[in-house]
Copies of this chain bind each other. A is one copy, B any other.
Amino acid sequence: MQNPKLSKDEVARAALRILDEMGLPDLTMRRLAADLNVRPSALYWYFPNKQTLLADLADRIVTQGRPAELVTGWDEQLRLVALALRDSLLAYRDSAEIVSSSLALGLGENPAHSTLRDALDSSPFDAEMTQRAAATMLHFILGHVSLEQQRIQYDSLGALSGEPVMLRMESCAGAFRFGVDTIISGLKQHSLAHPTATPGE
């Protein structure tokens, strides 16, 4: 009565709700079905398997959230996109793990990578270096947030961490900026060493 018809979108949104409230270990097909007042097998009409569902969630997570402010200068743009990406990821529990595992399927054409590559549009790098620069940044971001989220859930499990939670949050943000700035700084050096930008005729 209250669910005359389901939809792919509804299924995905319900999954995101579970993810937000309980985390990835509790996001099972059976639990998702129960939340939608439906039998587990019904979900397989909308998604061929759980992996595909998770890939869909990964897309929504990185797409959702306000896009990074537009500025001039590839270095500052890359920095903003990286920070925005972290914010998007931190909006959902275990998102970094989900995005990571979905990366292998969409070989290179995933939204997270694209956003980073686009930020390098005005850079002096050629296509391959842009690709590698985006990959380097993406790997750092996912690695960092992945660990950050594992620690968050470890803390929330009642285990008393060494330092207070608010302090830790700031030190995480600081460590993240450090990594982003280090990579950008390294990329700048590269651009000075190999000036590919049409050297006058």
Using a CB–CB cutoff of 8 Å, the interface residues on chain A facing chain B are: 100-101, 103-105, 107, 129, 132-133, 135-136, 138-144, 146-147, 150-151, 154, 161-162, 174-175, 178-179, 181-190
Contact = CB atoms under 8 A, between A and B. Distances in A.
Contacts of A154: 104-105
A107 B182 contact: no
Interface on chain A toward B: helix, strand, loop, or mixed SS?
A: helix
A184 B136 CA distance: 12
Given A151-B107, A181-B186, A187-B182, A100 B140 contact: no
Contacts of A140: 136, 139-140, 143
A152 B89 CA distance: 26
Contacts of A143: 100, 138-143
A120 to B, nearest CB: 13
Contacts of A146: 100
B151 A147 contact: no
Contacts of A101: 150
Closest CB pairs A-B (n = 6): A139-B143, A186-B186, A104-B150, A182-B186, A185-B186, A143-B143
Given A139-B143, A183-B186, A185-B190, 13 more contacts: A104-B154, A129-B178, A132-B175, A133-B178, A135-B175, A136-B178, A139-B179, A140-B140, A143-B143, A181-B186, A182-B186, A185-B185, A188-B189
